[in-house]
Amino acid sequence: QVQLQESGPGLVEPSQTLSLTCAVSGGSITNNNYYWTWIRQPLGKGLEWIGYITDRGTTYYSPSLKSRTSISRDTANNQFSLQLSSVLPEDTAVYYCAKLEKQDDDYVIAPWGQGTQVTVSS
């Protein structure tokens, strides 16, 4: 069964780059049935999709974050990463990685990692 776990610094200073890594077990990030996504949730607010990377390494980003976002992968270690540059306090959120899979006529985002709190503050 696929499991995901986020890791990275919990505190980032404004204007710096937020960097997180998602370790994947139980499934390969090069499996052509899956995409690998990043999602965040600010305190008291809804979920926001950040972007995803495909089995081939193609990336897609939310238009609102595209200019600051980079998702990459490390196939040797079966993990993928998020970099969000020029962060602001508004980027403070719980960040999740998750698997995206097409099932029947829908795309299912599951499973998710447990999430990691990232605070942007000086």
Position 110 pLDDT exceeds 90? yes
At 66-93, the pLDDT tens digits run 999 999 999 999 999 999 999 999 999 9
- Region of residue 115 (phi > 0: left; psi between -120 and 50: alpha; otherwise: beta): left
Which ranges constitute the DSSP H helices of 9-119? none
Q: Tell me the torsion sign for CA atoms 21, 27, 29, 33.
A: negative
Position 10 pLDDT exceeds 90? yes
Are 82 and 59 in contact by the 8 Å Cβ rule? The answer is no
What's the pLDDT band for 102 if we cut at 50, 70, 90?
Answer: confident
Residue 81: both structure tokens together: 């990463």
What's the pLDDT band for 104 if we cut at 50, 70, 90?
Answer: confident
At 21-56, the pLDDT tens digits run 999 999 999 999 999 999 999 999 999 999 999 999
Tell me which of 64-68, 79-83, 105-109, 111-115 is least confident. 105-109
User: What is the Cα–Cα distance from 1 to 72, expressed in whole angstroms?
Assistant: 23
